[in-house]
Amino acid sequence: MIGLQISQKGKLEKINKMEMCEDANSSKVKITKVLLTPEDTRTLLGDDSATYPVIPGRIAIGQISDTSDFSYLEKGTRVYVNPITNCGECVQCLSSNSNLCTSLQTAGKNVNGFLRDFAVVKNSQLYFLPSLVKDSEAILIDYITLALATIDKLDITKGEHVAVIGGGLVGLITSMLIIYYQGVPILIDGKEENLDRARLAGIYYNLFSDNKVEKEVSELTGAHMAQKVIYVADSNINTDLALKLASYNAKVGFVGFSSPNLKVNFNVAMKKQLEFCCITNGYGYTEQAINLIANKVIDLSLFKFNVVKYDNVEDELFKDYEAFKDGEQSAFPLLVDMM
């Protein structure tokens, strides 16, 4: 296997290791596409939740190149590799509640990701991709599972107003799915380009995050404010807004693949008796996500990523790293063509 690994904070190196498919519960996968996300740049920057050395690249699709006779997926099958695995050792895993695993492992963070030509992975991580699901859609499965987990945990129901704070990929895909489940998203962001994309995606209520937004949400909701609020962790918007837009007894979800050091004003939360929950992954929703894509319930053609060949990826990662270090936003996601 050849690949790139982050050996320590700020340091990338090429690796070349033998990787064999040794047990009946694993398969060897030729990685064909990897989506690098701001999470990978954060790992390069030095992330307390990461375990070094680690191969970056949380999101990958590939093709099975070697497997045991016992695997239900055959050699040559196009697959999505689930980046989240349960530990198999905690109390929840041992009592068959692996969905509630207390130490889920994340590819590219605390176990190796997929910026490499081949990976040996557990068969339980591999999901068959029907031909109706294009590669360009399959790389969004991780985002869709996060959105599904959020909608489920917040128990979003028909006709409910949901304030979505943060209009990047997470906020936008979540808003699109809220519409599919007949909720009413109100998407809020500080960047016009994100609001433009939201309009194209059919998000009818999209608001700029200035000092008028509270009044606007009040008008849209008949002064009730939002029964559900989704705060996207990397939205760069003050968390006070999430609490202001929430109605009394509302549920507020803090959502994102990373857990930045957010400050929340409990004074308002207690006055309004808000219910908080946190969602950092979509473990357990992969099949549902693939099914939704295959049924074309949301239009993913809107999401186009810059593509780079594997040979040039080191430069791109460093470019993003330098910009991030200087306080700029990450330019990722970036789609890496591994072929």
Instruction: Give the C-alpha separation, 170 to 255, whole Å.
Output: 8
Alpha helices in the chain (DSSP H): 38-45, 91-94, 135-138, 141-153, 169-180, 192-200, 213-220, 240-245, 266-271, 286-294, 313-325
Among 87, 179, 268, 331, binds Zn ion (CB under 5 A): 87
Q: CA 121: distance to chain centroid?
A: 20
Contacting Zn ion within 165-224 (CB under 5 A)? none
Q: Where are the beta strands (DSSP E) in the chain?
A: 2-8, 11-16, 26-36, 59-67, 78-81, 84-85, 105-106, 118-122, 126-128, 161-165, 184-189, 205-208, 226-232, 246-255, 275-279, 306-309, 334-337
Find the part of the chain contacting Zn ion (CB under 5 A) among 87-95, 199-207, 262-270, 313-321: 87-95
- Asked if 187 contacts 205 with a C-beta cutoff of 8 angstroms, the reply is yes
CB of residue 292 vs Zn ion: minimum separation in angstroms?
Answer: 27
Binding window for Zn ion (CB under 5 A); candidates: 19-27, 46-54, 92-100, 151-159 = 92-100
Among the listed residues 4, 6, 60, 93, the single contact to Zn ion using CB under 5 A? 93
Smallest gap, in angstroms, from Cβ of residue 115 to Zn ion?
Answer: 26
Pairing of strands 84-85, 105-106: antiparallel
Binding-site size for Zn ion (CB under 5 A) equals 5
Q: To the nearest whole angstrom, how small is the minimum distance from the Cβ of residue 90 to Zn ion?
A: 3
Only segment of 54-62, 81-89, 213-221, 321-329 that touches Zn ion (CB under 5 A): 81-89
| CA neighbor of 278 nearest in space, from 262, 299, 296, 298 | 262
Toward Zn ion, which CB reaches closer, 125 or 239? 125
Stretch that binds Zn ion, among 91-99, 107-115, 187-195, 308-316 (CB under 5 A): 91-99
Under the criterion CB under 5 A, does residue 101 sit at the interface with Zn ion? yes
Kindly tell me which of 88 and 260 has the beta carbon lying closer to Zn ion: 88
Nearer to Zn ion, 98 or 206 (CB): 98
Taking CB under 5 A as the binding criterion, the range among 75-83, 88-96, 111-119, 277-285 that sits at the site for Zn ion is: 88-96
Nearest residue to 248 (alpha-carbon basis) of 270, 273, 277: 273
**Distance of alpha carbon 223 from the chain centroid:** 33
Q: Is residue 84 within the footprint of Zn ion (CB under 5 A)?
A: no
Distance, CA of 139 to CA of 142 (rounded, Å): 7
Q: Give the chain's end-to-end CA distance (angstroms, integer).
A: 14
Tell me the window of 59-67, 79-87, 288-296, 300-308 that interacts with Zn ion (CB under 5 A): 79-87
At 244, phi and psi to the nearest 5? -65, -40
Q: Figure out which of the listed residues 90, 111, 294, 302 binds Zn ion, where binding follows CB under 5 A.
A: 90
**Closest CB to Zn ion among 87 and 120?**
87
Least distance to Zn ion, CB of residue 163, Å: 33
Q: In the stretch 250-289, what mask flags binding to Zn ion with x, by CB under 5 A?
A: ----------------------------------------
Are residues 60 and 37 in contact, defined by beta-carbon separation less than 8 angstroms? no
CB-CB contact of 44 with 12 (8 Å): yes
Among residues 117, 88, 134, the alpha carbon closest in space to that of 304 is found at 134
- In the bound state with Zn ion, the residue whose beta carbon lies nearer, of 92 and 288, is 92
Nearer to Zn ion, 87 or 302 (CB): 87
Q: Min. distance of Cβ 96 from Zn ion in angstroms?
A: 11
Region near Zn ion per CB under 5 A, out of 45-53, 67-75, 80-88, 211-219: 80-88
What gap in Å lies between CA 173 and CA 167, rounded to an integer? 9
Residue ranges that bind Zn ion, judged by CB under 5 A: 86-87, 90, 93, 101
